Amino acid sequence: MLPETCGSSLFLALPDDVFAIISWSLSPKDICNLSICCKSLCALVASEKIWLSQCDVVGIVPTRDLVEWREGVVSYKALCRFLVRVNPLIGLWVHQNPELGNVVYVMPGFVSVVGCRIIPQELGPNGIEDGPILWAPVFEIIGDFDGSTTFILHGREKGCDYFYPGSVESVERNCNVLLLEVGPKAKRNECKLFPSKSFAHHTNEEISRKVCRSNSGLSRSSGQSEAVVPFSRLNFGDRRKLLETVTSQVRHKVTDSVSGPLFPRSREDAENFQKDLVLMLQRRSLLLQMYKFGSEQGCTDLKASTAMPVGPIQLELSDIRKSFDRSSFSNSLNGDDDQTQRNNRKSLGGYFRASIKQILRKPSSVNGGRAISKCNSSSSENRHALLHEFLKSGDTIELTLHASTMKLSSYRAWPNMHDTRFALYKLPMRVPREDQEYAGLWGGTFGWPPGRPTEDKPGKALFFLLLSYEETEGKQLLIATKILEGTHYVLHPNGSAMFIVNIDEPSLDLFPWDSDADSHPVNVKHAFAGEGIANGYGFRYPGSKPGSLFVIQNGLLAFIWKESRVVLTLQRLSLQDLLKKGEQVPALPPIPNFSYLTKSYSNVFAGFSNSSTSSSSLRQRHG
């Protein structure tokens, strides 16, 4: 090889198309590192073809969609920045509550990703493929023109649809928990949402008596500034009230101009697909303007007023403070000790308990008007942070989405969840491979032929099952974990195994039916012995009875309980395709819509989740 074609000269001598192919083996970080080697390489890697290849490598949407998404950003590099950031969010997210309606699927929209809650539902005679899947919007993350992200929470209050703008705080690469939080921010050079007003005042002596700061959580930095108190360290009541206050202040009513589709219909419907793209491009542009300028009027005629436009997402902390009445804030500062003491002092034992608490409470001193913490780190680790300290962490406050990686325990692919976090938990989706070909998401109904109604049951409840593999005592087990149930009152707990089979143990049972729904002969390819769930709700680890799993032609699975001959039939699902053909229904109020922390065994969407009982006015046809 000639010297003049070595090193960077080799890359520069390559045609753009060839270098674009080579860049498939590089990461966006590698491309950026190349750009800082020399000016010539910097110009080369700025090529649109290079960054289109990088967008393709991310794999969220196919190339033809990327070409259409490019209209909404300044460059493919900006688009790649957005795709890399939101890629970890794509997939299935769940929460333990409500037991019915707890599944949220995050999928591509238009230069965005959309979180869709799957509504518990029954299927008609046409089965899963032809029956419209009902869903409600939970949130959107929209890519701005430079590839940055914008967060929008959806919700419904008093018969009106709203969206609640915020920011994406962070998205970790291997995130498994999605948290809805309120985050303090340093004051930006932006306008205030509301005129600043003072909060309920407390004297320095009062604060010094009430505040016991954690040495680790409230360390000083850069002189006078204080470390940010994490939202997660507040007690549950304060976290809930902060979320309620912020969402009530930043909400925007969904008008006709921003009520278009969140994602396009299937490309098979070419005419409507193109119409959807036009509507979504207009809707996205308007949402981004409203996000920045605060109102639809501000988007359309910013020069008509000499006043600064309303800030859309950040609230001055002084305005948040005034939303809390004096008594509630005082209780938060005290950790609700005042009420506890009043109750305890009604008895002699309560009096002594309160006295001991006062003796054991760590003393504090005042220095320069600030309470100096004397608490040791070991005792403070389990203490909640005080709302007062959280509100002192910054100048403004906003709704945030935080995708973090936490150490979670799980049981058969179902994560063990915290009851007091406004969170969604990601389910591990395994790509099917040769030795684990049945892994992934399946949808099913009880009965044979699949989905066929009977006189007493005109519709069949839709079940979502996550099939995964687990090796136990030398056995390769296939486990079907229930994650969604389309009944009106839950029959099996979320996370329970509907069936477990040993794929190394063939079943000698015969399939009871000779034909399918179309009167075609049934061809059983494989049969495995196992056990199916046997007990009703109330058993976290229910009992089981023997049965067999049959692998049938056309990709169907059927588990049959040996004694009762009850059959659960399954087919592999593409949720993205089903949702594009689906039907949108109204969402819950914003905070429960994201994470419904109230334990409920019935269908909270029952008012509009069943086509046989719901009014057409409660539905909103997608598109």
Kind plus residue range of the DSSP H or E element containing 397: strand 396-404
480 domain residue, yes or no: yes
392 domain residue, yes or no: no
pLDDT at 5: 46
374-395 burial: b if 16+ Cβ within 10 Å, else e:
ebeeeebeeeebbbbbbbbbbe
Residues in the chain: 623
556 domain residue, yes or no: yes
Give the integer Cα–Cα distance in Å for 442 and 570: 6
* Mean pLDDT along residues 354-380: 38
Q: In DSSP terms, which residues pair with 569 in a beta bridge?
A: 445, 558
pLDDT at 467: 96
pLDDT at 442: 95
What's the distance, CA 178 to chain centroid? 5
8 domain residue, yes or no: yes
Cβ atoms of 603 and 101 within 8 Å: the answer is yes
Higher pLDDT, 378 or 531: 531
- For the ranges 27-36, 110-119, 157-166, 375-384, the lowest mean pLDDT is seen at 375-384
**Amino acid letter, residue 341:** Q
pLDDT at 543: 83
Higher pLDDT, 120 or 6: 120
Single residue among 559, 574, 589 that ends a domain in this structure: 574
466 domain residue, yes or no: yes
Total of domains in the chain:
2
Residue 107 has pLDDT above 70, yes or no: yes
256 domain residue, yes or no: no
Residue 515 has pLDDT above 80, yes or no: yes
Give the integer Cα–Cα distance in Å for 363 and 372: 9
Single residue among 34, 65, 86 that ends a domain in this structure: 86
| 236 pLDDT tier (thresholds 50, 70, 90) | very high
Instruction: Give how far Cα 194 sits from Cα of 245, 290, 291, 309, 326, Å.
Output: 14, 17, 16, 11, 20
Instruction: Give how far Cα 440 sits from Cα of 374, 413, 427, 572, 574, Å.
Output: 53, 11, 10, 8, 10
Residue 520 has pLDDT above 90, yes or no: no
**Domain, as residue range, for 58:** 3-86
What's the distance, CA 23 to chain centroid? 32
| 482 pLDDT tier (thresholds 50, 70, 90) | very high
Q: What is the pLDDT of residues 552-574, one digit of tens each?
A: 988 899 999 999 999 999 999 99
Residue 299 has pLDDT above 60, yes or no: no
272 domain residue, yes or no: no
Single residue among 574, 591, 614 that ends a domain in this structure: 574
3 state SS of 584: strand
| 132 pLDDT tier (thresholds 50, 70, 90) | confident
